[in-house]
Structure 1
Amino acid sequence: MESSAAVRSRSTTKYFGDVVALDGVDLDIPLGQVHGLVGPNGAGKTTLLGLLLGLSVADRGTLEILGAPVDRVLGTPAGVAGFLDGPGLYPSLTARQNLAALASLRGHRSDRSREVDEALEQVGLSDVGDERPRGFSLGMRQRLGLAAALLTRPRLLVLDEPSNGLDPAAKRHIHRLLGELAAAGATVVVSSHHMDDVAALCSEVTLLSNGRVVFSGPVEKLAAESGRLDYRVATSDPVVARRVVTETPGLELVTDPDGLRPEDDVVVARGPVSAVDELVVRLVGAGVAVRGLGPTVTPLEAAFLALTDAATPTAPATPATPATPAHDQTSPTVPAPAGGAR
């Protein structure tokens, strides 16, 4: 029976020498969704993506991809593609020649010109297909790497910071493309440091900190974890506004907010959204015009900061030593145009 999960991890642990990169990761990623992988630097995101791409294997625990177990003997199943740290490209070949060469390396002997043209069109690079990527911007190289992955028609697409270097129009185009892939049944796993991208693109998200999962579930649920937020309130009378903030139940006046100059007609109030709604009513009742209102950070970013701060150990833990540490960083065993893996 075919698995209902694209990725299923149980107690997955990965060591690099004495460093515990992943520490007992439990994770389920359903088929047919865009799943975000977020966390601070060093949280284990790249290590986990590398396991999914077959660049290394776990030292402990079990990992299933597309219903098949992954280990040193079996490797990663067919149907997985993607890249880490940017795609590996041939700078002296044109974009179209790069894709044709990658298709040939994967064993496709027949003419793939139509598929190459379709992949270039999908990522919005049809007009530069005969140009060499050595002159491409970061965003264009990212899109060419995505086109190479799409040539394999992957069932699991793994992307590391796919929005890097993209202008707003290109980002919207790629977001729409990844959403269409998920709607067609593929699973897309993306890592990102940009919470606005995660909110716009992903239906579920996994948050890693210190190699452990501290949250996994719907984006909306993670955003709800933020609880009390700081809100910037621009008004016609900041003196009265400060007094009204202190009189509103559930709100706290933030007296030394970051990024505000003393002459700014802005106050910062901390509390739940229900209390902020009440603040607006009270300000209007006091004859104070509200000229602007919004959180200082998005709810998703606030939850990210709160959960990763809570997961940070107060003292460095001594890592356990595995029976047989693995140091492999092998070449991909899946059709992935990977750059250098960390």
Structure 2
Amino acid sequence: MRSTPVARARGISKWFGQVIALDEVDFDVAAGQVHGLVGPNGAGKTTLLGLLLGLARPDAGALEILGSPTRHTLEVPVGVAGFVDGPSLYPALSARQNLAALASLRGTYKASAVDDALEQVGLSDVADNRARGFSLGMRQRLGLAAALLTNPRLLILDEPSNGLDPAGKQHVHQVIRTLSDDGVAVVLSSHRMDDVAALCTDVTLLATGRVVFTGPLAKLAAESDETDYRVLTSDAAKAAVVAADTPGLRIIESGETLVVRGPVLAIDHLVIRLVGAGVALRELTPVMSPLEAAFLALTHTEPPL
């Protein structure tokens, strides 16, 4: 089931005037897979999501959704649901009325289905409140509920955790995991590496419209050769001397807290050398996650100072 192709792109390109938004992109999503789509602003993520949702068509290449080539007409393929740049809602209508209106437009309205969708995303208690009073996180959850009404086989989500508090984020994460377990393919675009790490099995990284990495999440995390680590010891001055003498390490910041940069093997040697020098190691933490480090390395982005 999980090897079944749900979305398949080969060499797709899209341009707007002289601007190349996507440049010969290959992209595969299998049933039951949560596939992360990441990249800097302007990388082409929104354009690719729009193609998957049928909001635009590629100018070159081939795109198949649920086993069928996309047509030249602009329409959401049957079995596909989601949102880009946030869900569109009727602000004067309640959450329940919004979902009922959308279901009625499709000719699939069932009161029980609307109630089930609201319960799935944790909005039952505010089902009769007008959407204009909803927070950003509540609007995101209502957009997810609208997508669930269609029982999609391919779900497209753009920053689904945007505006959510920790409890709301965990609730949405659980909904996505349940959908994946049921065989739904999910394409999730996010700037938050913690969301990607928590949910995705595979990831595609875009930069300036091109794929710079695609594959298992663990492989992306291993793409960064060097990582910054924060080192807290019993003797900061002595630790800095030991670090400066450790092959493969660079000191990024010294003082009460030491920040060093290097491959994992060099960090291991540092720990051994500190213990040998009689310096107690109290904290050794990555300044950023391996995923963030790989993201910055592959997109040639400098980390903030």
TM (normalized to structure 1)?
A: 0.85
8 Å Cα contact 1:236/1:265 also seen in 2: no
Asked if 1:308 corresponds to 2:292, the answer is no
Residue 277 (structure 1) aligned to one of 260, 268, 273: 268
Offset of residue 75 of structure 1? 5.0
- Length, aligned pairs only: 300
Counterpart of 1:241 in structure 2 is 239
Structure 1 CA distance, aligned partners of 2:71 and 2:224? 38
Higher relative contact order (CA closer than 8 Å, sequence separation 6+): 1
Counterpart of 2:10 in structure 1 is 10
User: What do residues 49-88 of structure 1 show as CA deviations (whole Å, max 9, x unaligned)?
Assistant: 0001111101110000111100304855310000111111
Counterpart of 2:44 in structure 1 is 44
Provide the secondary structure at the position in 2 that maps to 1:309: coil
Provide the secondary structure at the position in 2 that maps to 1:6: strand
Which segment is superposed worse, 245-254 or 128-137? 245-254
Structure 2 CA distance, aligned partners of 1:205 and 1:253? 32
8 Å Cα contact 1:86/1:160 also seen in 2: yes
Provide the secondary structure at the position in 2 that maps to 1:193: coil
Counterpart of 1:164 in structure 2 is 162
Residue 232 (structure 1) aligned to one of 222, 230, 233: 230
Identity of aligned residues (%): 66
Residue 135 (structure 2) aligned to one of 134, 137, 143: 137
Counterpart of 1:294 in structure 2 is 285
Residue 206 (structure 1) aligned to one of 204, 220, 225: 204
Amino acid at match of 2:27: L
User: What do residues 147-191 of structure 1 show as CA deviations (whole Å, max 9, x unaligned)?
Assistant: 000000000000110010001111111111101101110000011
RMSD across aligned positions (CA): 1.6
CA 1:147–1:76 in structure 2 vs 1: closer, same or farther (change >3 Å)?
A: closer
Amino acid at match of 2:298: L
Where in structure 1 are there 5+ consecutive unaligned residues? 311-342
Amino acid at match of 2:25: V
8 Å Cα contact 2:232/2:256 also seen in 1: yes
Counterpart of 1:338 in structure 2 is none
Amino acid at match of 1:137: S
Counterpart of 2:103 in structure 1 is 103
Counterpart of 2:22 in structure 1 is 22
Amino acid at match of 1:216: T
Structure 1 CA distance, aligned partners of 2:28 and 2:94? 39
Structure 1 CA distance, aligned partners of 2:43 and 2:249? 33
Structure 1: 4+ residue segments shifted above 4 A: 73-76
User: What do residues 292-338 of structure 1 show as CA deviations (whole Å, max 9, x unaligned)?
Assistant: 1111111101111111118xxxxxxxxxxxxxxxxxxxxxxxxxxxx
8 Å Cα contact 2:5/2:30 also seen in 1: yes
Structure 2 CA distance, aligned partners of 1:90 and 1:213? 36
Amino acid at match of 1:265: E
User: What do residues 127-164 of structure 1 show as CA deviations (whole Å, max 9, x unaligned)?
Assistant: 10011111110000000000000000000000110010
Amino acid at match of 2:190: S
Provide the secondary structure at the position in 1 that maps to 2:299: helix
8 Å Cα contact 1:45/1:208 also seen in 2: yes
8 Å Cα contact 2:117/2:145 also seen in 1: yes
Amino acid at match of 2:283: G
Offset of residue 15 of structure 1? 1.1
Where in structure 2 are there 5+ consecutive unaligned residues? none
